Amino acid sequence: MTRHSTALLAASFALVTPNIAGAQSPDASSRAAQVEKSIRAAGKVTGRPDSAYTIEERMKYWHVPGISLAIIEDNRIVFARGYGVTEFGGTKRVDTTTLFQAGSISKPVFATAALKLVEQGVLLLDEDVNTKLTSWKVPANEFNSTEKVTLRRLLTHSAGLTVWGFPGYASDKTVPSVVDVLNGKGNTAAVLNDTVPGARWLYSGGGYTIAQLLASDVTRRPFPVLMQQLVLGPTGMRRSTYENPLPASHSAFASSGHELIDTPVPGRYHTYPEMAAAGLWTTASDLARWAIDLSRSYNGGTGVLSPAMAQHMIQKHVSTGPRGGNGFYGLGVAVEGVGDSIAFSHGGRDEGFVATFMMMPKLGKGFVILTNGVSGALMNDIRRAVAESFGFPTPRPERPAVAMDSASLAPFVGTFEFTNSGPVRTISVTQGAGSLTGYNNLAKRSFTLWPLGNDQFFDTSTGATYVFQRENGVVKTLRTGLPVNAPVGVRK
């Protein structure tokens, strides 16, 4: 669920004294310190100075109140720290004990539990899930008459099911049961096949909700208890829970989500009965412990899963659709690379929260970033800084700017209004020295647009290309990206 952010950040983003998880070598400490002060924009203009910022400066720019960061090296946590505050306008600082909603990162952690049940002989990867579902059944229709929904297909998003994601339930709303969610009696449509199982990759939080119910049905245990017994406890995720609603004992440690800029989510956060898909509350350090446990198994050591199952999980099973390219999906995780460079990762997005992690099991390197704001751009900024200091592969576009004088830049000045979706957004364009300056009224941020020629400009803050379009020689519209379906703003 995505909305544009609004309002201006005015809270203090003081650095929290670190609560380091695990031993920290002086070398790792110095490189982590470099991360904190070497955040760079998404794009670079060839031949121009490349500014560096602190994490706190970029948090202010992107209007994100709080962050939890953990860095993994040699299969151990070498750095863990919190930044900012748990709620905009508040004084409670984020530290390594602060809980964040992990969004869809709930899925790979749950997948570990599902695969443990397979190893125990309780579930089968390639069996029709209706065989063991007792409290609900996948509705029969023309799409699943021959090919069936299986656990493997659920975990790889290839079961052909509806419902991409879930918005959760505000604090003043009634929370439905999992069966009601699957039947479409919550705030999302019913989960059913609209594609033949196995035919293609199609992301489905609805599919993971079926898998959640399957795990509870076969074990006859409440889902949060099952997850605590199978994964959270054994991996040392002591502060984490799948309990929704979040119990009072955990709520005191929870940060508040911010779906709109500088505005806490009413009631602080949403509740997700779709726990396997979106319900995990965790810390960056706890997620790092899970990633290390899985990597240890992958490399032949002892963990929740056997080495064979961990290797099967972190394996390219299906391509992620027409945009797949180098991106493939394993059993609950996205998988990239080969050999020593293989990596598993996932992103997360709940109401007011955004998260990401990546782990390279052969190299023993990884990171976790949890935020209580909705700027994916900030997470990418931090990821690039970690890449520079700790050696993760990450792209950074670089473009050569062309020289333009004031007279040539003048035709682009104006205000462009975007009304295609959500609240009305405007980008006001003014003239700078050899460049343009844009201001987004909803995001409350300014950015430089460097000329590339042919009425195209480069936004280094996001790496996006902005395209001005003319009618009879006069600039009339602004397209915020190169794809033909990119949002278009009309000049006012």
User: Which tokens belong to 288?
Assistant: 């790092």
**pLDDT band for position 16 (cuts 50, 70, 90):** very low
Q: What average pLDDT does the segment 171-187 reach?
A: 97
pLDDT confidence of residue 321? 57
pLDDT of residue 25: 54
Of 6-20, 257-271, 411-425, give the lowest mean pLDDT range: 6-20
Which pLDDT score, from 0 to 100, does residue 27 have? 85
**How big is the chain by its Cα radius of gyration, in Å?**
23
Q: How many residues does the chain have?
A: 492
Higher pLDDT, 487 or 227: 227
Residues whose CB falls within 8 Å of the CB of residue 361, separated by 6 or more in sequence, listed in order: 294, 295, 298, 299, 314, 342, 343, 344
Count of CB atoms within 10 A of residue 46's CB?
Answer: 9
476-485 average pLDDT score = 86
Residue 12, pLDDT > 70, answer no
Q: With bands split at pLDDT 50, 70 and 90, how would you rate the model's confidence at 421?
A: low
* pLDDT of 486: 83
How does pLDDT run across 281-317, given as a tens digit for each residue? 999 999 999 999 999 999 999 999 999 999 999 999 9
Check if the beta carbon of residue 377 is closer than 8 Å to that of residue 41.
no
Instruction: Give which of 177, 181, 124 is closest to 153, Cα–Cα.
Output: 124
Residue 178 zone, left/alpha/beta (φ > 0; ψ -120 to 50; rest): alpha
Q: Is domain 400-491 given the CATH code 2.40.128 in the classification?
A: yes
CB contact at 8 A, 304 and 234: yes
Query: Per-residue pLDDT for 359 more than 50?
Result: yes
Tokens of 372: 């209580």
Answer yes or no: are the C-beta atoms of 366 and 116 closer than 8 Å: no
pLDDT bin (cut points 50, 70, 90) of residue 318 is confident
Mean pLDDT over the full length of the chain: 91
| 98 has a pLDDT exceeding 90 | yes
With a CB cutoff of 8 Å and minimum separation 6, the contacts of 33 are: none
Give domain 100-390's CATH superfamily.
Answer: DD-peptidase/beta-lactamase superfamily (3.40.710.10)
Judged against a pLDDT cut of 70, whether residue 202 lies above it is answered with yes
- Looking at residue 327, its pLDDT comes to 56
The per-residue pLDDT for 361 is 97
Reported confidence tier of residue 397, pLDDT bands at 50, 70, 90: confident
Where exactly are the structural domains of the chain?
100-390, 400-491
